[in-house]
C-alpha cells in the first residue's frame, strides 16, 4: 500500500486550527472552574476551622469534610468534560496527569504521614505550589506561576509558625494561588 498524504485545502486547515483553538479555550475555562472550586473549598474550610478553634468549639477540623465533596464535584465535572471533549490537547493531558499525581501525593501524605500536625499544612502548600507552577507553565499563564511561588512562600512562613495560625496562612495561600488566578483565568477566557 502506498503511504499517501492527504493535501488539506485552505478551508480544512483553517477549520482544524479553529477546532484546536476552541479546544484550548475549553481547557482554560475548565481549569478556571477547578482552581476556583478547590480554592474556595480550602479557603472556607481553613477559615472555618480557625474560627471554631478560636471560639474553643470542639471538632473544628470537621470543616475539612468539604474536601470529599470537592472530590465528587471534580469527578463529575471531568466526567462531563470528557464526554463533551472532541479533541484532546497535549496541554490538557499533561495537566490531567500533573493533578492526578498531585492527588496521589496528597493521599499518601494525608494517610501515611508520621510528622506532627504542624508539618502537614506547610507540606500541602508546597504541593499546591508545584501543581500551580506546572499548570501555569503549561497554560502559559503567569498568574498561576506566581500563585505557585506564593504558595511556596506561604509554606516557608507556615513552617515557622505552629498552631492554628497555619490555617490563616493556608487560606492566604489558596486565595493568592488558586482564587485570584482562577478568576483571572476565567476573565482571560472571556476575551
Which residue intervals of the chain are DSSP H helices?
10-54, 66-84, 90-112, 117-139, 142-160, 165-174, 180-190
Give the mean pLDDT of the chain: 84
User: Which residues of the chain are under the pLDDT cut of 50?
Assistant: 1-4, 25, 29
pLDDT > 70 fraction of the chain, expressed in percent and rounded: 79
What local confidence, expressed as pLDDT, does residue 103 receive? 87
> Nearest 10 degrees: CA dihedral of 65, 67, 70, 76?
-90
Note the pTM of the prediction, 2 decimals.
0.81
Dist. CA 61–CA 64, nearest whole Å: 6
pLDDT tens track for 17-46: 555 555 554 555 457 899 999 999 999 999
Domain ranges across the chain: 21-190
What local confidence, expressed as pLDDT, does residue 131 receive? 94
Amino acid at each position: 500500500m502506498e503511504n499517501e498524504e492527504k493535501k488539506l485545502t485552505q478551508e480544512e486547515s483553517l477549520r482544524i486550527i479553529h477546532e484546536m483553538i476552541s479546544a484550548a479555550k475549553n481547557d482554560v475555562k475548565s481549569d478556571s472552574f477547578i482552581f476556583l472550586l478547590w480554592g474556595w473549598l480550602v479557603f472556607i474550610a481553613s477559615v472555618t476551622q480557625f474560627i471554631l478553634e478560636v471560639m474553643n468549639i470542639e471538632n473544628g477540623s470537621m470543616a475539612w469534610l468539604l474536601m470529599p465533596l470537592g472530590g465528587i464535584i471534580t469527578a463529575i465535572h471531568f466526567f462531563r468534560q470528557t464526554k463533551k471533549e472532541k479533541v484532546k490537547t497535549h496541554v490538557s493531558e499533561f495537566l490531567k496527569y500533573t493533578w492526578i499525581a498531585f492527588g496521589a501525593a496528597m493521599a499518601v501524605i494525608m494517610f501515611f504521614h508520621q510528622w506532627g500536625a504542624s508539618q502537614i499544612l506547610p507540606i500541602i502548600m508546597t504541593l499546591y505550589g508545584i501543581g500551580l507552577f506546572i499548570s501555569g507553565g503549561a497554560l502559559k499563564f503567569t498568574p498561576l506561576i506566581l500563585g505557585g511561588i506564593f504558595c511556596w512562600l506561604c509554606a516557608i512562613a507556615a513552617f515557622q509558625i505552629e498552631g492554628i495560625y497555619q490555617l490563616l496562612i493556608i487560606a492566604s495561600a489558596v486565595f493568592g494561588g488558586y482564587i485570584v488566578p482562577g478568576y483571572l483565568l476565567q476573565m482571560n477566557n472571556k476575551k
